[in-house]
Structure 1
Amino acid sequence: MTDLPTLQVPRPPAPPPEAADALAALSEHAPAARVWEACGAAGLIGGLYDERGTVAPRRLAALLSAVDARGDNGATLSVLVQAASALPVLVTDAPGEGPVREALDGVRSGRQTLALAATDRDAAGSDLAGLTTAVDIGPDELVLRGGKRWITTACAADWFLVLARHRPGRHFTSFTWVLVPSGAPGVRVTPAETDLLPGSATGHVEFTDVRLAPGHVVGRPGRGMAAFARHMGTERLAGAQWALALTGRVLADTKERLTLRTVDGTPLWQNAAVRQRYATCLVQVRQLQALCDQLGDPIARQRDLAAAALLKSAVGLTVDPVLTACAQLQGADGLARDGAQRIRAEAAVFGIGGGVTELVLDAVADHADQILGELSP
């Protein structure tokens, strides 16, 4: 019988050996704060951004690859949101001293954790302009009131980076970032009622007349939405990088299982129908990898939101069908605790967090002429 061709599983950049060793020393279900601390100690966080808040794509990919290799999707989600959504806001807007600088130094070193509190209690996740969490900005103090839901790392945070409105209306200049210590009077955190992604420390946060010094405003008042939009591409790039690491890991595990399991003495891996379905997954992930490689620099350095929307959409259209196929190919083994079926359920976050796939596709359509132009030879 002719040897069947080898199909290579896409793999993300390997982390430095010392980083892999630091994370390997953690227990299997180490809490989110401990994982973040290990990343900081291993030097995976400090060099992610330059002074302008521009991310180094390969460093970000190495961080997410190293954390994903542990197999705790919740912990990876916690690291991603801190590294790609919250941290760049502090990097860009931290002054030379004060609480924002203190938080930046602590978070970047891994000694402290930072939760991005944007999704509001009283508005749909896709309607940030409708949020009701509000901050009164006075000459001597800030007063914060409201609530945030489904906040990653909420139950393990030292700081909350809170998007709040400082004046009525839906205009983008009506919103401001406020940095809130998790132990401040009036802050109450409740764990989210879900069995999925337990390592993410996700929870809901209430702010009841939280009083802070004026130095807890991050950046200039009214620049909250602009700062959020400025770094949106970084979050979407990070999501694609994690998607590559996760699907690559599950595909490799699936191939190994198909090689070991036999029917009438023949490995399932040699079944033509199985191979074709598996190969379809490889093609889909390779396409995502090619997009990620092509669009990484434009997203990071040029703040290309059209490229970010295209990449985010590709993630939403790739991850679920690939993991669904892997879960089915694994058969009953996929139903095991922490098996492929659970991974598939947890990976639903790729189609929700950072923008629902359908809404992001609508944004891609807005840039149809640009994308069509780029297809021309």
Structure 2
Amino acid sequence: MPESTADFTAALRTALAGADTADARALWRALGTGGVIAALYPDGGTQPDPRRLAALLAELDAHSPLGVTLSVCVQVATVLPLLAEAATTGPVADTVAGMVRGETVVALAVTDAGASGSDLLDATTRTKLGDDAVTVDGRKDWITNATTCDAALVLARHREPRHFTSFCWLLVPRSTPGVTVESAGRAFAGSGVGHLRFDGVALEPGALVGRPGRALAGFARQVGVERLAGALWSRALCRRLMTGLGDWLRSRPAADGTLWDHPAVRDRYARCLVALRQLDALCAPLLDGPPGPPSTATGMVLKVAAAETAETITAEAVHLRGADAFRDGGEAALRTEAAMFGIAGGATGTMLAGLADHADDLLGSGP
């Protein structure tokens, strides 16, 4: 087990060196075999170490398509912690062990076909909990790893009232009769994004993850780690993009030197640097803190900052590169995919509305 972040990064690079980094399942297997997934949670904990998480996302961003990084990010920041905190024995514990070894891929099935956007209280995927059996019916849309998973961690309603205590988690093997999967197309190549349908799916009682009524509370807490992961990933992506853009500007001939020599170009580039440094500053205190979710308000700030920084820098890269940005795999395509930072884990508009409710706390948190 690596003892430091440097040792972890070395083990990570060794694992990636022999892996197909464009294949999410093959990459996940390599991370498990190389001990990387286990080492992400030091001292037997259930939450990823922030610095190791940052190293993982930076290396994946450098070597893998965005969709493959998304596949890994959802599992390490959200799925594994949720399952590990509930795991004792039985199918849940077996699934956690399989994920750590890189043998099992689990989709996080939260976004509901019957609800609008982030309004999970209106979710219509339902379960009936019995002493001897559990059934589930419904549909989950736009689920990462849907087409490549072995099982899905499904948020389902077990009570009718529109209340946060009306939901539970179910671990649903993909091979269970009544489970069907539909691809969502070519979006986020490598992420396995798709739609999951559950028609009279019958499960053993051991499929229940944790206590009924606690699912939304646990998810609301864990999503803070997902938002931190998104900020760390956005930071890595933007730094990589800025480095490449700076090299390109310095090499691109212009009438009186290179594009880098033009004050207007340097001004636009410098504004991107400021945006990136602001995101760095938001992430820095959390990198030195203990594993675990940041506060609700901090998580929302990170979410908005990650989305706005990615949009600012990808938009400027497209503007400055011009026609070159529209080549295959260029900045224009990356900008489209990076819009994910403003949607996944809660839309930016929803985050801003929530932040307004925390205004007194945030204004009082300064020096």
Under TM normalisation by the shorter chain, which class is it? over 0.9
Alignment deviations for residues 76-118 of structure 1 (CA, whole Å, 9 cap, x no partner): 11111111121110111111x2100110001122111110000
Residues 334 and 64 (structure 1), Cα distance of their counterparts in 2 relative to 1, 3 Å cut: same
Letter of the 1:41 partner, please give it.
T
Aligned equivalent of 1:188: 180
**More deviation, 298-307/78-87:** 298-307
- Give secondary structure in 2 for the equivalent of 1:59: helix
TM-fit CA distance, 1:358: 1.2
CA contact (8 A) 2:9 2:52 kept: no
What is the aligned counterpart of 1:82 among 75, 91, 101? Answer: 75
- Give secondary structure in 2 for the equivalent of 1:111: coil
What is the aligned counterpart of 2:248 among 257, 267, 274? Answer: 257
Aligned-partner Cα distance in 1 for 2:288–2:200: 42
Aligned equivalent of 2:335: 344
**Residues 1:16 and 2:15 aligned together:** no
Aligned-partner Cα distance in 2 for 1:24–1:52: 27
Residues 14 and 239 (structure 1), Cα distance of their counterparts in 2 relative to 1, 3 Å cut: farther
Aligned equivalent of 1:286: 277
Aligned equivalent of 1:133: 125
CA RMSD, 1 decimal: 1.9
CA contact (8 A) 2:225 2:293 kept: no
Alignment deviations for residues 36-63 of structure 1 (CA, whole Å, 9 cap, x no partner): 1122223321133365633310111111
- Give secondary structure in 1 for the equivalent of 2:332: helix
Residues 110 and 290 (structure 1), Cα distance of their counterparts in 2 relative to 1, 3 Å cut: same
TM-fit CA distance, 1:24: 3.5
Unaligned runs of 5+ in 1: 1-11
Aligned-partner Cα distance in 2 for 1:232–1:223: 14
Aligned-partner Cα distance in 2 for 1:13–1:268: 37
Letter of the 1:212 partner, please give it.
L
Aligned-partner Cα distance in 2 for 1:176–1:302: 20
Aligned equivalent of 1:236: 227
Aligned-partner Cα distance in 1 for 2:69–2:7: 16
CA contact (8 A) 2:70 2:191 kept: yes
1:104-123 equivalences under 5 Å are: 104-123=96-115
Letter of the 1:99 partner, please give it.
P
Aligned equivalent of 1:63: 56
- TM-score of the superposition, structure 1-length normalised? 0.91
**More deviation, 106-115/233-242:** 106-115
**Residues 1:317 and 2:308 aligned together:** yes
Residues 298 and 363 (structure 1), Cα distance of their counterparts in 2 relative to 1, 3 Å cut: farther
TM-fit CA distance, 1:370: 1.1
CA contact (8 A) 1:137 1:143 kept: yes
- Give secondary structure in 2 for the equivalent of 1:176: strand
TM-fit CA distance, 1:13: 8.7
CA contact (8 A) 1:13 1:61 kept: no
Alignment deviations for residues 64-87 of structure 1 (CA, whole Å, 9 cap, x no partner): 111111140000111111111211
Letter of the 1:88 partner, please give it.
P
Alignment deviations for residues 295-339 of structure 1 (CA, whole Å, 9 cap, x no partner): 456694464111111111111221101110012112211101111
TM-fit CA distance, 1:18: 3.4
TM-fit CA distance, 1:228: 0.5
Unaligned runs of 5+ in 2: none
Letter of the 2:87 partner, please give it.
A
Aligned-partner Cα distance in 2 for 1:179–1:205: 13
Letter of the 1:78 partner, please give it.
S
- Give secondary structure in 2 for the equivalent of 1:180: strand
CA contact (8 A) 1:15 1:66 kept: no
**More deviation, 267-276/352-361:** 267-276
CA contact (8 A) 1:15 1:65 kept: no
Residues 14 and 268 (structure 1), Cα distance of their counterparts in 2 relative to 1, 3 Å cut: farther
Aligned-partner Cα distance in 2 for 1:105–1:167: 31
Residues 363 and 179 (structure 1), Cα distance of their counterparts in 2 relative to 1, 3 Å cut: same
Alignment deviations for residues 253-284 of structure 1 (CA, whole Å, 9 cap, x no partner): 11111121111361212221111111110110
Aligned equivalent of 1:172: 164
Residues 270 and 353 (structure 1), Cα distance of their counterparts in 2 relative to 1, 3 Å cut: same
Give the length in aligned residue pairs.
362
**Residues 1:93 and 2:65 aligned together:** no
- TM-score of the superposition, structure 2-length normalised? 0.94
Aligned-partner Cα distance in 1 for 2:327–2:217: 44
Aligned equivalent of 1:144: 136
Aligned-partner Cα distance in 1 for 2:6–2:310: 19
